[in-house]
């Protein structure tokens, strides 16, 4: 038995059997469509984003971006900028203080994903078009921006490879892909392809995409003396951001406080430091005043990484019954020379279908562009586009319904690892979605429906996203007045985190929700993992669960110091938290309130803090969320315009803790998928490596008029291996969407578009 396997089994023995957690079945708060606790603050504007904190004596900084992709700064003229009205200082590589490059942030098991080793402002070297090369600090934002426009730079430019297409030939196999093997092979899929009764072999391309959260990246830095700094920063990871900033400036971790109580969306773009925060802290230290940097929308494009482009081949062979005899998924993504993130597009088929033989893997090449990073279900969104489009094509080849084809290849266990699925209700998700959508009315042949000049089609695709859980700590305190406070440094980016965790804590402690305070978004609170990888809900839930259990134990012990307590002889097993106190399970009237226990003991409060470890259950089970995405599209016969007319998203994502916030998450993901499929695309000028559509006028995210009513259904089937039976649901919504749209467009027109986005020109 391997050391790892033994460790897993030992840990599994000491872990509580989560399926027996009584809250798996409780319905007082959990499972209820409770309004967001921060809803009123959000809609009235009382919730502040990072750039909005009123700080005394605030100065404003503006960043100068490089205009070449690779080379050396020969001359940088700052005199005119320095003399412009209101300017306090101009910082370049010639006068910037030394700063350390932070250790790659560890997110999941790919430590350097999404962060780069570029020595910003401590080098004359330029490694992407848009790199910060100067920071101007002035009394007002306008003065800073004006002065920044006066900085003149002369470069010694070097030959750069900025085009993905040009770099593909140099692609190499990475050491690993998020800790997984970069290529897995079983049997001889090439031979199976040659001898197949039915086969498809398609090549797909997806473009680079950029982050466009509603809140552009911004920070305010306030130093206290020279060894302590508070930073308001829009962040998906307050604890990680504070620790990285501490490394950059050589400070003790506890002397950096990163505050992000409200975040206007992250989607992967706020998981690691993206220079503006570091430059803000630097500038504030240099001038001895608080400084704010609020990136413009263009600034976000220049300074924050986005999604890699990809080239993917999917080849599938099937026998006459539709069973997959070969499955090949391979291709290339890009990264920069300074980061390490081969986006994991090859993950979906490792877990989705039974396959008699397979080769699944990926290569990576490098370009002189900004580092790519996490974005909206990295891997699974672009991977499912290719895989689920190819399966649709195979269904036509077989003259078989595409849902039936998928059902015939439904695996009994994980097709690669052989592990049991912790929870998988794919057939139910398809059945529910098909019923709701009216799939049975769909004609089997393409180009069979029209509405005036519009060709109508229906498409379906599978979505999938893994279940991750991160190491997370939480502190729970119960006060003598019977109220409770939960503290953890986690983030609320609009998902409903604060609401759902308060529902959980209230139920766990047997308190009314209004008696629970939930404090978060502050790096000085107990460490919470990143709000990424759709992991936060279960990560925080387990920490709150364990801390609450410890607290109840402590309160019982406190009660038992007094012989006249009704709990004096109770064993822990006989009691539980209920009715604002501890009561016998079998005699619900016998027990004491927390307030009574604490007041008798003369204590103001009791608190407990626990740290959880990452999920070892993931080594025993294949753990994923699933979706069946149903789309009806209309394609204008003369103009090629695509409109989405109807949508049903059917989800299998464990137990739903709050239907209101959950459905909102699913819808948000589907809308992102509509953008990915139809309108969004980052356009690079391959001569200079510069993004040419760095604005929302030219980078088109879906607007209301692009989005129909999105109907959402879900299995609500608890996963016995996860805290509360839940799954994170931030990212599953986008997966499968682009394929469902491409499949609906094919059904409408008979044209298979394999190159995202599906713009008009590709349909004429
Ligand atoms: Mo998500 S791309 O892990 O924020």
Question: Tell me: the pLDDT tens digits for 632-681?
Answer: 999 999 999 999 999 999 999 999 999 999 999 999 999 999 999 999 99
Say how many Å lie between the CA of residue 438 and the centre of ligand 1: 33
Whether ligand 1 lies within 6 angstroms of the CB of 470 is answered as no
CA 478 / ligand 1 centre spacing (Å): 33
Instruction: Report how far residue 674's alpha carbon sits from residue 62's, in angstroms, rounded to the nearest whole number.
Output: 34
Q: pTM of the prediction?
A: 0.96
Ligand 1 neighbourhood includes 376 CB (under 6 angstroms): yes
Task: Give ∠ CA 485-654-272 in degrees, rounded to 5.
Answer: 60
Cβ contact 715:726 at 8 Å: no
Which phi and psi (to 5°) does residue 367 adopt? Answer: -130, 160
Ligand 1 atom closest to Cα of 378? 2
- Residue 279 contacts residue 248 (beta carbons within 8 Å): no
The answer, yes or no, to whether any atom of ligand 1 lies below 6 A from the CB of 267, is yes
Measured from the CB, is residue 374 less than 6 Å from ligand 1? yes
**189 φ, ψ (degrees, to nearest 5):** -65, -30
490 or 20, higher pLDDT: 490
| Residue 378 in contact with ligand 1 by CB distance below 6 A | yes
**Residues 6 or more apart in contact with residue 445 via CB below 8 angstroms:** none
> Looking at residue 21, what is its pLDDT?
80
Q: Which atom of ligand 1 is nearest to the CA of 266?
A: 4
The answer to whether residues 172 and 130 touch, using CB atoms and an 8 Å cutoff, is no
Tell me: the pLDDT tens digits for 542-564? 999 999 999 999 999 999 999 99
Ligand 1 probe mutation, 212, 213, 373, 374, most atoms within 8 A of CB: 374
- String of b and e for 249-288 (b: at least 16 CB within 10 Å)? bebeeebbbbbbbbbbbbbbbbbbbbbbbbbbbbbbbbbe
Q: Quick one: tokens of 752?
A: 């298979």
Distance 469 CA to ligand 1 centre (A): 13
Q: How many CB atoms lie within 10 A of CB 576?
A: 16
Task: Indicate the DSSP class of residue 252.
Answer: -
Cβ of 266 below 6 Å from ligand 1: yes
Q: Cα–Cα distance between 421 and 354 in angstroms, integer? A: 13
Would the CB of 493 count as within 6 Å of ligand 1? no
Higher pLDDT pick, 641 / 272: 641
Residues 699-723 have a mean pLDDT of 96
CB 561 within 8 A of CB 7: no
Q: Which atom of ligand 1 is nearest to the CA of 267?
A: 4
Minimum mean pLDDT range among 110-114, 505-509, 678-682:
110-114
More confidently predicted of 715 and 104: 715
Between the CA of 350 and the centroid of ligand 1 the distance, in Å, is: 20
Q: Which helix (H) or strand (E) holds 316?
A: strand 310-318
pLDDT of 112 higher than 80: no
Residue 533 CB–ligand 1 contact under 6 Å: yes
CA end-to-end span of the chain: 60
Calculate the CA dihedral of residues 678, 682, 687, 688 and round it to 10 degrees: 170
pLDDT tier at 113 (50, 70, 90 boundaries)?
low
pLDDT tens track for 349-379? 999 999 999 999 999 999 999 999 999 999 9
Tell me if residue 150 falls in helix, strand or coil: coil
Instruction: At 499, list the tokens.
Output: 């609401």
Interval between CA 270 and ligand 1 midpoint (Å) = 9
Looking up tokens 């989405």 gives 644
CA 534 to ligand 1 center in whole angstroms? 7
375 CB near ligand 1 (under 6 Å): yes
Distance 308 CA to ligand 1 centre (A): 14
The answer, yes or no, to whether any atom of ligand 1 lies below 6 A from the CB of 174, is no
Alpha helices in 515-611 (DSSP H): 536-559, 594-601
What is residue 209's predicted lDDT score, i.e. its pLDDT? 98
Q: Point out the ligand 1 atom lying closest to the alpha carbon of residue 377.
A: 2
Give me the pLDDT at residue 106, please: 54
pLDDT, tens digit (0-9, with 9 covering 90-100), for 224-243? 999 999 999 999 999 999 99
Question: Is the separation of the CB atoms in 446 and 572 below 8 Å?
Answer: no
Q: Which atom of ligand 1 is nearest to the CA of 534?
A: 3
Nearest to 662 by CA among 622, 713, 705: 713
Query: From the alpha carbon of 376, which atom of ligand 1 is closest?
Result: 2
322, 412, 493 from 317: Cα distances, Å: 9, 20, 43
Task: Name the residues annotated as catalytic.
Answer: 731
Looking at ligand 1, which residue's alpha carbon is closest to its atom 4? 268
Distance 742 CA to ligand 1 centre (A): 24
Q: Is the CB of 728 under 6 A from ligand 1?
A: no
Q: Given this model, what pLDDT does residue 18 score?
A: 61
| Bridge partners of residue 592, in order along the sequence | 582
- Please report the pLDDT score of residue 24 as a whole number: 74
Least confident of 113-127, 461-475, 539-553, 650-664: 113-127
What DSSP character marks residue 49? P
**Most informative mutation of 105, 538, 731 for ligand 1 (most atoms within 8 A of CB):** 731
Ligand 1 centroid to residue 3 C-alpha, Å: 31
Report which ligand 1 atom has the smallest distance to the Cα of 271.
4
529 Cβ closer than 6 Å to some ligand 1 atom:
no
Does 209 contact ligand 1 (Cβ within 6 A)? no
Q: Which of 274, 490, 532 for a ligand 1 pocket mutation test, highest count of atoms within 8 Å of Cβ? A: 532
Q: Do 635 and 458 touch, CB atoms closer than 8 A? A: no
For the CA of 731, the closest atom of ligand 1 is 1
How much distance in Å is there from the Cα of 264 to the middle of ligand 1? 14
């Amino acid at each position: 038995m391997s050391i790892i396997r033994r460790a897993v089994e030992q840990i599994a023995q000491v872990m509580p059997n989560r399926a027996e957690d009584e809250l798996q079945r409780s319905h007082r708060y959990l499972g209820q469509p409770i309004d967001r606790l921060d809803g009123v603050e959000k809609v009235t504007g009382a919730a502040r984003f990072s750039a909005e904190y009123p700080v005394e004596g605030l100065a404003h900084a503006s960043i100068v971006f490089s205009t070449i992709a690779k080379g050396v700064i020969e001359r940088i003229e700052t005199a005119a900028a320095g003399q412009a009205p209101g300017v306090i200082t101009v910082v370049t590589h010639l006068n910037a203080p030394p700063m350390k490059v932070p250790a790659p942030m560890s997110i999941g098991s790919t430590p350097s994903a999404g962060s780069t080793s570029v020595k910003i402002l401590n080098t004359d070297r330029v490694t992407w078009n848009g790199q910060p090369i100067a920071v101007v600090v002035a009394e007002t934002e306008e003065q800073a921006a004006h002065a920044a426009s006066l900085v003149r730079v002369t470069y010694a430019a070097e030959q750069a490879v900025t085009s993905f297409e040009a770099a593909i030939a140099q692609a190499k196999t990475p050491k690993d892909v998020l800790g997984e093997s970069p290529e897995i092979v079983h049997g001889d899929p090439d031979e199976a392809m040659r001898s197949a009764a039915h086969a498809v072999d398609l090549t797909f391309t997806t473009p680079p995409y950029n982050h466009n959260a509603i809140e552009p990246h911004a920070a305010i830095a306030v130093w206290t003396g020279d060894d302590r700094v508070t930073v308001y920063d829009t962040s998906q990871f307050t604890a990680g951001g504070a620790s990285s900033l501490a490394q950059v400036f050589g400070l003790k971790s506890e002397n950096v406080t990163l505050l992000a109580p409200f975040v206007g969306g992250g989607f992967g773009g706020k998981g690691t430091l993206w220079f503006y925060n570091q430059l803000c802290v630097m500038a504030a230290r240099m001038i001895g005043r608080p400084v704010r940097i609020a990136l413009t929308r263009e600034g976000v494009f220049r300074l924050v990484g986005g999604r890699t482009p990809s080239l993917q081949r999917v080849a599938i062979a099937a026998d006459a019954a539709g069973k997959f005899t070969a499955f090949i998924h391979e291709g290339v993504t890009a990264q920069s020379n300074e980061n390490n993130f081969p986006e994991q597009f090859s993950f979906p088929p490792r877990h989705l279908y039974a396959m008699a033989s397979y080769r699944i893997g990926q290569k990576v090449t490098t370009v002189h562009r900004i580092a790519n990073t996490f974005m909206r279900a990295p891997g699974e969104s672009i991977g499912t586009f290719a895989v689920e489009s190819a399966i649709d094509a195979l269904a036509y080849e077989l003259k078989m319904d595409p849902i039936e084809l998928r059902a015939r290849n439904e695996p009994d266990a994980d097709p690669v690892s052989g592990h049991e699925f912790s929870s998988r209700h794919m057939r139910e998700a398809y059945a529910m979605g098909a019923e709701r959508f009216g799939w049975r009315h769909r004609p089997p042949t393409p180009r069979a429906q029209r509405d005036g000049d519009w060709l109508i089609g229906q498409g379906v695709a599978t979505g999938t996203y893994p279940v991750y859980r991160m190491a997370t700590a939480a502190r729970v305190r119960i006060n003598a007045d019977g109220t409770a406070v939960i503290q953890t440094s986690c983030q609320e980016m609009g998902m409903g985190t604060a609401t759902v965790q308060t529902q959980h804590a209230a139920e766990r402690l047997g308190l009314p929700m209004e008696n629970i305070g939930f404090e978060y978004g502050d790096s000085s609170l107990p460490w919470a993992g990143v709000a990424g990888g759709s992991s936060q809900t279960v990560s925080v839930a387990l920490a709150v669960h364990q801390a609450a259990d410890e607290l109840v134990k402590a309160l019982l012990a406190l009660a038992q110091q007094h012989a006249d307590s009704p709990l004096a002889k109770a064993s822990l097993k006989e009691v539980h938290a209920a009715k604002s106190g501890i009561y016998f399970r079998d005699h619900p009237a016998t027990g004491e309130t927390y307030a009574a226990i604490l007041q008798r003991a003369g204590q103001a409060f009791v608190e407990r803090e626990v740290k959880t470890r990452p999920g070892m259950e993931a080594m025993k089970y294949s753990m994923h969320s699933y979706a069946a995405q149903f789309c009806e599209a209309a394609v204008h016969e003369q103009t090629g315009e695509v409109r989405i007319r109807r949508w049903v998203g059917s989800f299998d994502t464990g137990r739903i803790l709050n239907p209101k916030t959950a459905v909102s998450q699913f819808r948000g993901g589907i809308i992102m998928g509509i953008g990915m499929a139809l309108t969004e695309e980052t356009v690079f000028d391959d001569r200079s490596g510069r993004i040419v559509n760095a604005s929302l006028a030219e980078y088109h995210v879906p607007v209301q008029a692009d989005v129909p009513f999105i109907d959402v259904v879900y299995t609500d089937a608890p996963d016995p291996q996860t805290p509360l039976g839940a799954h994170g649901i931030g990212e599953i919504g986008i997966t499968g969407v682009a394929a469902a749209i491409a499949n609906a467009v094919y059904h409408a027109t008979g044209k298979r578009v394999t190159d995202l986005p599906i713009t008009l020109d590709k349909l004429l």
